[in-house]
Each structure stands twice: as structure tokens, then as C-alpha cells.
Amino acid sequence: MYVFILNNRVIRTDMPFDTTMLDFLRSRQHITSVKAGCRTGSCGSCLILVGESDGESVCYRPLNSCILPLEEANGKHVLTVEGLNNNRLNPIQQAMAEQGAVQCGYCTPGIVISLTCFLLRSPFFDESLAEIALDGNLCRCTGYHGIKRAAALLCQNFSPSSEPDSMERIKWLTEKEILPSYLLQIPRQLQEIQPELQRRPNQISQNSVIIAGGTVHGKKSEDLSSEQVVFLSERKDLSGIRIEHNRCQIGAVTAVEEIRNSAVMNRFFPKISEYYAKIATTPIRYRATIGGNIVNASPIGDLCVFFLALDTSVVLSNGQNQRIIPLKDFFKAYKKVDKQDNELVERIAFPLPGHNAFFNFERICKHNDADIPSVNSAIQIKTDNRRILDVRISAGGVAPVPLYLAETGNYFIGKEINNAVIRKAGEIALSEISPVSDIRGSADYKRLLLRQLIYAHFVTLFPESIDTETLL
């Protein structure tokens, strides 16, 4: 039995664990604002807000209901556009109407949900941040300009007077009639249903199917027994970012968006928010996890490539014993990793960058920044003035696995940063890779891309040492 709050009603259901929230809302609750579009989490027409209690307040995330198992709503607050309605249009809906941001209306509820979450979670209201918050929504009618005008109008009309993700922010939004007043009672109501919750056993065996974010793969209940499935979202010990013994430790179920917004990560990687804004869409980043991305072992996995350049280790456990493996040795073959069936990735860890370390991440996509990359690359360089002390460089999309370019990195050591050295490094990198032609580009094209990304690393990090015109 699952128990959760849907808008302002308590729901109890014994539907199968893998029923999608989209299907449950539409077929069982007759809530039609959530639309069946792509069913892959790509279009945003099915967006909902899911709130989880932190004791005193409720933290909301925009999630794609089409790929969200019913299990993940247990003990939480699910909010749809119907639950945002007052007796009249709220300011978000009014701005959409006034700015010509509504035509057929199919995508409109998801856009309202995204803007609502933006007002709930953003530290300040800026048009560029609002556009990032909307990046998971596709619209085939308006051309997006009306939507952008509506977002800009909201940013002009409202300025937050409280911290994000707090009860004070929710109270402020109810005073502005952006949120209905019943949301003030949700923290208490979530506490009241806690005694009813039935938690799934999370013992892992060789037959277990482990689900972290679940944004890529899905299985139906007719193929699985409910005892086989372990949802890691219940494992709070596997989340969070901390510094320990001069190493950054990131729990396996830490969401990508949490990493992007982490004060720790922003301290050491000032451009991480910019990097990660180009990885997937906002709703996917709120659900996708670092452990899931690494275990998935996609050859173009952005997080795999990002952390390969940081001398990262993977910590695995079978419940009794731990193993620690360098991330560069974790990937064995296409979609194959050094992990036993009864093992779980608990966290990753990497040494904190020193004052003489420089980092850059690049990705090139066929269509847009949020698309799957054709080639991506990351680099960490340690220097003593102009001389290179150490280089760790990675690449994706050019081999069956996310690739650590060991020979290229070794070549740089002791060299000065100049055009000749960078060109030679590009040649060595091309000898280490084995790209294949596919929908994202030919093998020759990917070779060209990787060479250019290596050049881009140095142009970005050391522009004063590079003659850009002759290098490119």
C-alpha cells in the first residue's frame, strides 16, 4: 500500500510499484493536466511537482511523471496544475495568458509547473535562470518567445524576500497568491501519514534490480517480482556531498542538480553550474544520480567524463566488504563495469584540487546543448607557472567506454604550454581512440571534434599562452 498526498487529498493505493505516476494520475485520478507526450522524460508535458518533507518544510522538485514509478511518491506530496488553482488565474498563469505564451495548451501545464518550481527554488529571480528552469519543456506552437516574455515578466514583478526551499518561501508565495494556502498545512499532513508508510526491503542480492534515478531504463512488473526491486531513493546514507580527509565524497544517489548547486562543488569548480546546465534538462537533473550515470557506463556519459579527469575513485560494497577502484579502471567494455551483482556503488571520491589546478569541461552536440553529445572531454591541469606538472584528460564518444587518455596526459608532463605541444598532444590523443560512425557523426568527424576540444581546453584555460589563430 502506497500513501501520499495528491494536491490536497490523501491517496492510498495498492497499484503495482512500477505504475507510472502519469498513468495513475490520468487513468485512476482523472487528472488530465498531465499529458502523455514522449514517455521518455524529454518533452515536459507530464511534469509534476513532488515534495519531500525535511521536517519543518517541504522541498519540491519538478519531475517527469511518465518515468516516475508510483513507489517514488510514497510518503510525499504530489502537486499538479489542478492543485495550484485558486478561484482565478494565479500570477504565473496570468503572465502566460497576457504574453501570448498559450496556444493549443498541451504543454502549458508543464510550463506552469516549471515556473512554479523556479519561484520555489531559485535564490533570486533572473530571466536567464528562469530559461534554464524551463529547459525541460518543449512547445510546438508559440515559438518560445511568449513563454520567455512571461518568465521575464514574473522576474520583473517579483523579488524573493526569503530563502529558497523553505517554509518562509512557501508562505511568501501564498501571500502573492502564486500558491494556494493549503500548502501551508502539507508539512504537518506529511508527518501524519508517516505511520502508515510501508517501506520496501532494501537488501541487495544477485537477483536484485537496483533503481536509482531510473531516467534511462525501465522494467515492467510482469517481468519482475516486487521483492527483486530495490529503490535507492530511500537510502539517505547514499546521498550528499562532503569533504573528508582532503577528498570530496559524493553519495551515489546524489542527484545531478544537487551537484550542480552544491556550495562545495562551486567552490572548487566555479563554472560547474554552466557545465551542468548543458547536461540533460532540469527535471532529469533533479532525478538522475551520479551513481546511476557511472554504472550505466555510457560511452558519452557526461558525468563519467567529468569525474575521470579528477582522479576519482569508486567505492563499492556488498554489505560486508568494501572495494575501492579507480574510475578509470571501472569501465571494462561497452556497458560493462567492474561490479559484482551483489555489490552497490556507495559513493565516489576525488582529491580536492589545489590552487595550481585548472579544470575545464567541453561537449559538442548535434542539435543543442541539452542533447546527447557527439563527443565530450574534461581536463585537469596542474602547473608551475608555464610548466605542466600533471594532466588528467578524458573523452567520451570516441571509444566503447568513457575513456581516460593516459598517453596524452603523460606526454604533457614537464612541457611548457604552447601551440606545438598542444598540437602534438592532439595527435597522441587521436592514436588512443577508436570512434565509430553513428547517428551522432562519422568516425572522422569525432576525431576532429576531440582534437578541437583539446585545443579548446587550453584556449579557455591559458589564453595568454596560446596563439589562437595559428592553433585553430
For 111-144, what is each residue's pLDDT tens digit?
999 999 999 999 999 999 999 999 999 998 888 9
* Side-chain-side CA neighbours of residue 348 (13 Å): 26
SS (H, E, C) the chain: CEEEEECCEEEEECCCCCCEHHHHHHHHCCCCCCCCCCCCCCCCCCEEEEEEECCCCEEEEEEEHHHCEHHHHCCCEEECHHHHCCCCCCHHHHHHHHCCCCCCCCCHHHHHHHHHHHHHHCCCCCHHHHHHHCCCCCCCCCCCHHHHHHHHHHHHHCCCCCCCCCHHHHHHHHHCCCCCHHHHHHHHHHHHHHHHCCCCCCCCCCCCEEECCCCCCCCCHHHCCCCCEEEHHHCHHHCCEEEECCEEEEECCCEHHHHHHCHHHHHHCCCHHHHHHCCCCHHHHHHCEHHHHHHHCCCCCHHHHHHHCCCCEEEEECCCCEEEEEHHHHEEECCEECCCCCCEEEEEEEECCCCCEEEEEEEEECCCCCCCEEEEEEEEEEEECCEEEEEEEEEECCCCCCEECHHHHHHHCCCECCHHHHHHHHHHHHHHCCCCCECCECHHHHHHHHHHHHHHHHHHHCHHHCCHHHHC
Find the mean pLDDT for residues 450-468: 94
pLDDT bin (cut points 50, 70, 90) of residue 219 is very low
Between CA 334 and CA 125 the distance in angstroms is 43
Helix 419-432 to helix 443-461 angle (10° resolution) is 150
Across 449-466, average pLDDT: 95
Mean pLDDT along residues 198-222: 70
Residue-wise pLDDT tens digits, 354-379:
989 999 999 999 776 557 899 999 99
Averaged over 3-29, what is the pLDDT? Answer: 95
Is the model's pLDDT at 198 over the cut of 90? no
pLDDT, residue 468, reads 86
Q: Is the pTM of this model over 0.85?
A: yes
Burial string for 131-141 (b: 16+ CB within 10 Å, else e) reads bbbbbbbbbee
**Spatial distance between the Cα atoms of 308 and 394, rounded to a whole number of angstroms:** 6
Can you give the pLDDT at residue 470?
Answer: 83
CA 197 from centroid of its chain's CA atoms: 28
pLDDT in tens, 49-84: 999 998 889 999 999 999 999 999 999 999 999 999
pLDDT of 226 over the 80 cut? no
pLDDT over threshold 50, residue 221:
no
pLDDT given at position 201: 66
94-108, 200-214, 320-334, range with the lowest pLDDT: 200-214
CA distance 444 to 428: 15
Helices 91-98, 108-121: crossing angle, 10 deg rounding: 130
- What was the pLDDT predicted at 80? 98
Q: What is the pLDDT of residues 140-166, one digit of tens each?
A: 888 899 999 999 999 999 999 899 999
User: In whole angstroms, what is the distance from residue 411 CA to residue 428 CA?
Assistant: 8
Q: pLDDT value at position 182? A: 97
Confidence bin at 212 (pLDDT 50/70/90) = confident
pLDDT at residue 22 above 60? Answer: yes
Reply yes or no on whether the pLDDT at 296 is more than 50: yes
Residue 43 phi/psi, 5-degree rounding, is -110, -25
Distances in Å between the Cα of 208 and the Cα atoms of 73, 204, 277 are 21, 6, 33
Q: What is the largest CA-CA distance in the chain?
A: 70
Predicted pLDDT of residue 227:
65
The whole-angstrom separation of Cα 223 and Cα 217 is 14
Write out pLDDT tens, residues 311-335. 999 999 998 999 999 999 999 999 9
Q: What are the residues facing 337 on neighbouring strands?
A: 331
99-113 burial code (b ≥16 CB/10 A, e <16):
bebbeeeebbbbbbb
Quick check: 217 pLDDT over 60?
no
End-to-end CA distance of the chain: 61
Give the residue with greater pLDDT, 17 vs 445: 445
| Residue ranges of domains in the chain, CATH in brackets | 2-196 (3.10.20.30), 209-216+225-351 (3.30.465.10), 357-471 (3.30.390.50)
Residue 339 to residue 325: CA distance in whole angstroms: 10
Q: In what order do the strands lie in the sheet with 247-251?
A: 241-244, 247-251, 344-351, 313-317, 322-326
Backbone angles phi, psi at 93, to 5 degrees: -65, -40
